[in-house]
Chain A
Amino acid sequence: MMIDAFLKGLEMLLDPVIWYYIVAGTVIGLVFGCIPGLSSIVAMSLLLPFVFLMKPVYAFPLFLAICMNSSTGGSITSVLLNVPGTSVNVATLIDGFPMTQKGEGARALGAALTASGMGGFISIIFSLIMFPVVMPLVFSLRSTEMVFLIVMGLSCVAVLSKGSMLKGLISGGVGLILAFVGLQAVTGVPRFNFGSTYLIEGIPRMPLFLGLFALPEMIAVVAEGGKLVRRSEVVLSVRGVLEGVKDVFRHWGLWLQSSFIGYIIGVIPGVGGATAIFVAYGYAKQFSKHPERYGTGIVEGVIAPEAANNAKDGGALLTTLAMGIPGSNEMVLFLGAMMVLGIRPGPEMVTVRLPMSLNLMQVTLASALIGGFICLLVAPYLAKVASIPARFLVPFVTVVIFIGAFSAEGRFIDLVTLIVFGLIGLVMKHFGYNRPALILGVILGELFEKYLFIAYETDGLFFFMRPISLIIIFINVILIAVEPIRKTLLPGYRKGIKKA
């Protein structure tokens, strides 16, 4: 039955018009992904009113191609300019931009785009193979497990803390506090808004991300001599991109592991893409032979989050189709499009409409490959951005940052927030506080609190005594303890760190 449905799905791909929609969606997704402030959500919301004019067989590929490629597009600005295109590209900044500064921007871009495109590809393969195994698992998950999955993401604060652990933990803690600003999901009571209506909905995320990362970097570029690339020798673009592509194959184990993490977290509704990228990064660092080099601009630090950020979309698609529960914000809009066209997601999608579900997965698979391919074609030219004279690059990027912060809500006050967080980011950068750890706290803090209270309300004080929770707790402990254990038990490893 499965093979029949698979072949029927493939038959639908023989229609040449469908490919027009896939390519159009791919390009839209890439463009919206690489412009900060815009995202696949914006693109899909703009297209949603026109969905009823299209046939489902064309509308869904368009939406899925947009959704699949925005995080791939977002990696371009993250790597080259330290400006996260979308929120799921934040972890890529940690090693991507330092690589650009070392003159390896093309290589980082090649690795990021390949890992991202292939991550999306493999997640669909996972979906097709693991469909019968994953669904019962997802059905059995409750808020308790969500809490510990988010804790897994939060435990990466310790992993992200290079240099001073104390400052890393402080940064993560401050991030968590910032996440609590605004209306509390459980009680509906406003907190830490100091009487301001602006802060009732919490601190707007895009001005915060751009302020903490992009603005300080631009200021530092000017202050440190007006050059984005600090090394005199820059690796040639095409050769660099190809080197990045090869890197993904060289580190295929890491890529596969990160894609799997992204896929599993994507399958679980409500945990969010940020958890996926940080957990993938954390795992990559903790189980690396040279964790001390993470954060200094190494290619493994780019491959891990990029593989996870696209793989989570494949997982989210599975949950959306089979359960009717959107696994991510993009999937909410995809669900909306399905409803508009009179197709109800749910168990029907894995029985009567199985060929359609499989066709959608095939479409996603194709769009991930096309997106990756298009990006790799233009990557050598994009990588030259890093060599543009600062007197042109700085005002251009500053304008992009301001537009990114402004366009989400169209409020002037968001620009003030941008400047405030720009100043905070600059101070943090100067004094060695950990900005990714702060972002991690901000992203996961709210989710953590929400699921914690739901878990407590439903399962009581000992909510963590469920078998799946205990397994996740065990994995968490391993993630945190692996580094100290290696330091204690392996003297050779300790020597290696000292040498580095």
Chain B
Amino acid sequence: MSTTNKRKEEIIGYLVVLAFSLLILSECLRMQYVTSKLLPLIFGSFIAVLAVIGLVKQVTVKQAAAGIAPDKGETTAEVWRKYARTGVWIVGFLLCIYLFSLIVAIPLFTFSYTRWHGAKWLHSALFAVSVTLVIYVVFILLLQVDMSGGLLFRILRP
């Protein structure tokens, strides 16, 4: 990936930090008590100043001095595509929990993930069952954590 793109990324990063600090500062100004807003104002301003320094550094100083890491040969888009692929699994797991509850989502997730990544049917099934069993015994039976409550179960409950 080109240096320019990396620099752009760094600049975007600092802009996000700056936006965050400005949001904090604007929230502080709406607060009534000095004791409530004093420290957030100080630290918010501190972050804003640091973000501006970072931005100025990126715009004015050469690559090495600006702290840009050397190129690892993979484009950011490629790396993020890989991250996104795993992220889809995690978000899918979250959706399953929302719909079916945690204790139902665990075997679904573990089984489908291992199968998708090349494990044999039997291995996937054994793995899913054993993980669910351990979680069931430790958390539901012993610790009595309520893992029910999926949306579908709530709808179907009379």
Contact = CB atoms under 8 A, between A and B. Distances in A.
Contacts of A406: 102, 145, 147
Given A184-B35, A189-B31, A403-B135, A398 B93 contact: yes
A395 B110 contact: yes
B27 A192 contact: yes
A430 interface: yes
Given A219-B83, A399-B131, A430-B79, A166 B54 contact: yes
Contact of A187 (B17, B36, B110): B36
B114 interface: yes
| Residue picked from B31, B36, B118, most chain A C-beta under 10 Å | B36
B129 to A, nearest CB: 13
A419 B94 contact: yes
A244 to B, nearest CB: 28
B116 to A, nearest CB: 8
Interface string B80-106: 001101110111011001100010001
A215 to B, nearest CB: 7
A54 interface: no
Given A392-B114, A402-B93, A410-B145, A218 B86 contact: yes
Given A399-B135, A402-B102, A419 B67 contact: no
Nearest to B106: A399
Interface string A187-221: 10101100000000000000000000001001110
A453 B39 CA distance: 10
B36 A395 contact: no
Given A170-B50, A415-B97, A391 B91 contact: no
A173 interface: yes
B24 A187 contact: no
A449 B89 CA distance: 40
A402 B36 contact: no
Contact of A391 (B27, B90, B94, B113): B113
B16 to A, nearest CB: 9
B106 to A, nearest CB: 6
Interface in A402-456: 402-403, 406-407, 410, 412, 415-416, 419, 422-423, 426-427, 430-433, 448-449, 452-453
Interface of A: 35, 38, 42, 46, 163-164, 166-167, 169-170, 173-174, 176-177, 180, 184, 186-187, 189, 191-192, 215, 218-220, 222-224, 226, 390-392, 394-396, 398-399, 402-403, 406-407, 410, 412, 415-416, 419, 422-423, 426-427, 430-433, 448-449, 452-453
10 contacts: A176-B43, A191-B27, A219-B83, A219-B90, A391-B113, A395-B110, A399-B110, A410-B146, A431-B10, A432-B67
Given A184-B36, A402-B93, 8 more contacts: A42-B143, A166-B57, A180-B39, A222-B82, A395-B131, A398-B90, A399-B110, A407-B143
